[in-house]
Amino acid sequence: MRRPAKTPPAGRRPAMPRPPAAARAPAAKPYHHGDLRRVLIDAAMQLVGEGGPEAVSVREAARRAGVSPGAPFRHFPSRDALMNVVAEEAQRRFRAEIEAALADAPPGDPLGRFRCLGIAYLRWAMKNPTHFEIISSRRFFDHDRSAAVSSDNAELIGLTERLLAEAFSAGQLGMRDLKQVQIAGRALVYGFARMHLDGHLPRWGVGEAEAERMAADILDLFIAGIASRAAPSAKV
């Protein structure tokens, strides 16, 4: 374990009495930070964006907020708690963007809406790779410890399942097993997002520019594959 996590040390020593800071410029810096909690979250979000989840440190967030290293612990009991809030923020943005994209999609045609969802999903994941990573992996924070993340995530997954179930009911999926289609669709989209995140796409000859087009292509391929009897031609 690199991070001590739960080490209850004993033995503190009383600090030296500090001379009162009598003489101070009155408007220089107020003792109380306006909204330190919010500033810390923003700093942490920025750190995630710059260097990934690993780059988030309480001290660095405090440094950027112009505050002492111990101050953040008044607002977050631990680094993990800070990460939880960051994850909630990311998950909230993710869901909002997908639902916005879906609101623009025409109703009816469940497979078309599924495609639209997949595109929005991948677009956000590729535009915010490090934030996507936090809410994807259980490594950086535990989904179960945040009701907000869990419910937002369940909502998105439920949306996907519902669309494919509607397509199934409408007879668009032929005789295929619905659950298998749902999981395969999920795996395909999630896999492409992770391939981008993990830097695999260049190996496959897909540059940053072509990534979004390729995402649309494989979604179309998938839809054509599961659709009951679509024209087999691809290469749209």
Partner DNA sequence: AATCTGTGTAATCGGTGCTTACATTCACGA
Partner DNA sequence: TCGTGAATGTAAGCACCGATTACACAGATT
Through-space distance between the first and last CA atoms of the chain, rounded to whole angstroms: 51
Q: Comparing C-alpha atoms, which of 151, 229, 216 is closest to residue 189? A: 216
Q: Comparing C-alpha atoms, which of 195, 177, 175 is closest to residue 187? A: 195
- How many helices (H) and strands (E) the chain has is answered by 8, 0
Distance (Å, whole) CA 192 – CA 129: 12
**Taking the complex as a whole, how short is the minimal distance between the CB of residue 37 and its own copies, in angstroms?**
22
SS3 122: helix
x-or-dash string of contact with its own copies, 22-61, rule CB under 8 A: -----------------------------xx-xx-x--x-
Contact of residue 200 among its own copies, DNA, none (CB under 5-8 Å per partner type): its own copies
Distance (Å, whole) CA 178 – CA 176: 6
What is the residue whose two structure tokens read 């993710």? 94
Q: In terms of CB distance, is 53 or 110 closer to its own copies?
A: 53
**Taking the complex as a whole, how short is the minimal distance between the CB of residue 79 and DNA, in angstroms?**
3
Binding site for DNA (CB under 7 A): 1-5, 7-9, 11-18, 20-22, 24, 30-33, 36, 56-60, 62, 67-71, 73-75, 77-80
The size of the chain, in residues, is 236
11: left (phi over 0), alpha (psi -120 to 50) or beta: left
Kindly report the CA angle at 59 between 90 and 16, in degrees rounded to 5?
A: 145
Displacement of CA 175 from its chain's centroid (Å): 35
x-or-dash string of contact with its own copies, 132-151, rule CB under 8 A: ----xxxx---x--------
x-or-dash string of contact with its own copies, 76-95, rule CB under 8 A: --------------------
Of 18-26, 88-96, 109-117, 174-182, which part binds its own copies (CB under 8 A)? 174-182
Range 175-234, binding its own copies (CB under 8 A): 175-177, 179-184, 186-192, 194-195, 197-200, 203-206, 214, 217-218, 221-222, 224-226, 228-229, 232-234
Contact residues for its own copies, defined by CB under 8 A: 1-3, 51-52, 54-55, 57, 60, 136-139, 143, 153-154, 157, 174-177, 179-184, 186-192, 194-195, 197-200, 203-206, 214, 217-218, 221-222, 224-226, 228-229, 232-235
